[in-house]
Structure 1
């Protein structure tokens, strides 16, 4: 018996579904692998019984204008399964965008196929940053679209007639569906499977994915009071998320306030109300926590740590470090080396 064959049960013969969910996927150069893999793997698990991975209830193709590899933003390539053809072969066309600062241009044929799908009245879905490509084609004018909160300002700057939504995993408006990507791609796939294959099939996959309780751990991590991400005010939660993203960068509270759509004064009021700290104090504590970890767990110089954690210089770091941890970074490092502080 093949070592990879289950000793408990054999694979049942494949059969054809009367109406499988058929999805055409357009991955732009420098696409983000996580969003795409979450989306496709949900389809894969929904498409068959157990984990057999046959395309029975769901069918998907990676489409492009040639069969050359399409490289993700992390450098891992995918090979297109089919060339652009008739979009009416699919229930929906998923436009999966790449990182906005990518240097590889999106081919004209890619954009032309999106236009063809719209003209053929095939459902078009923007995933990750695919919304920016749809907006570029004028397909989101006056419409609401789901974007990651860190990209809302860029969407408004580039396409002021588009209405970015940052607090929903999937948005439907004007016949266009959008999803910010990441783990929200699972929400998108679950909705598509439910619509075409029924709730039971989507629930089967969700149960399979949640069986290891990994999502529960992530939810618990997000609920930790120290992170401030559980705040009921989405503006505060988004501000904290941006601070976490930018711990290693220089920046101002005014920058964060602008990104979440409030004034600096209003953000200060919200932070004091919900987190009992000013935005500047909260952000500094995040930076100090990152610096503390590096002092204890790395051999980087104090100057390098100060730079990497967003402090203006080593003196600035040492001042706040001593006030918070009652020892200079160098002193704490020596104590750790002699008595094993963690």
Structure 2
């Protein structure tokens, strides 16, 4: 009976969390589409593509798009683009039919290409290549998933951009595109108007990032919760949202920069690197932060890390040294000094009342 009661309570708690996330107010849209959706994605499938990549992307979008588990395409839109009546066979042998025949690329916020087995790289209709180039010329950000980075490189669309590829395909990329830059051992990489993802479950992480940028952190939290994805570093995305709150920012560059900061606490990024990754200058980013946050990017970044550290001190039993490291402080002494300057109390004294209460 007790086990059943615990299960019922857990179920009610999960439902209440989703309801709270669904009830959060909408953020300001970056680029409202014709349909009124906050995020619209076109998807190109290459022969023998991985079904997991398509499923992970579409499932993340559907959870963000509607209330509960209704899956209507309201706040997010997604469509598989291709030749009329054509079915593209996945690597597992299941065919997937194109839904729309090369529509106007301007309706999409992103055009995603999910690559397939490398021997089939050139086994597509010429119109697929032309459509990618048309999107690039129109300024639509291009996303390469799995070997989609190879497709973008073969189309000549990765010049001056770094591709993120799976370590299994690293030598293949270097051999086929020796003049292009490549990185591995990462979930995904945003380099200006090019986003590349190694594939697998990393697709969900990348999709969550785009959803957070366009639809708000509440939508991203719902995706992580519904798809039961664990974030690296031990703390869940939902927990980090509880610690940092739901920030609504009108400026797209600031919103993008904040997301990068949130995802890089343990090894904080240089502000110049953040500016480059979102396609702006340090000077412009600093002006935007002062206008939106009344703080410089560096100061805002430090406040975020300290706020998360404070939350962990109050809500977890992790060691103070470990919390300091996770929040990007090189040693415990530095963490304690900066924390006391911010909150007027050391981490140990902040936690002391809770420890005393627990002992009693």
- Structure-2 residue corresponding to 1:34: 52
Equivalent residue for 2:187, pick from 169, 183, 206: 169
Gaps (5+ residues) in structure 2?
1-14, 16-21, 23-33, 235-360
Contact 1:29–1:106, Cα closer than 8 Å, also in 2: yes
Equivalent residue for 2:211, pick from 193, 196, 199: 193
- Structure-2 residue corresponding to 1:63: 81
Equivalent residue for 1:76, pick from 61, 71, 94: 94
1:82 match: secondary structure: coil
Contact 1:96–1:129, Cα closer than 8 Å, also in 2: yes
1:57–1:154 Cα change, 3 Å? same
2:62 match: secondary structure: helix
For 1:67-106, list aligned pairs within 5 A.
67-102=85-120, 105-106=123-124
- Structure-2 residue corresponding to 1:151: 169
TM superposition shift of 1:18: 4.0
TM-score by length of 1: 0.56
Rg (Cα) greater in structure:
1
- Structure-1 residue corresponding to 2:200: 182
Distance 2:63 2:184 in 1: 28
Gaps (5+ residues) in structure 1?
1-7, 218-342
1:204–1:144 Cα change, 3 Å? same
Tell me: higher relative CO, structure 1 or 2? Use CA pairs within 8 A at least 6 residues apart.
2
Contact 1:17–1:57, Cα closer than 8 Å, also in 2: no
Distance 2:233 2:65 in 1: 25
For 1:182-331, list aligned pairs within 5 A.
182-210=200-228
> In the comparison of the two structures, how many residue pairs are matched?
205
Following TM superposition, the consecutive aligned residue runs of length 4 or more in structure 1 with deviations greater than 3 angstroms are 16-19, 213-217
TM superposition shift of 1:122: 0.8
- Structure-2 residue corresponding to 1:25: 43
Q: 1:115 aligned to 2:106?
A: no
2:120 match: secondary structure: coil
TM superposition shift of 1:102: 3.3
TM superposition shift of 1:66: 1.7
Q: 1:49 aligned to 2:67?
A: yes
- Taking only aligned residues, the RMSD between alpha carbons, in angstroms, comes to 2.8
1:216–1:17 Cα change, 3 Å? farther
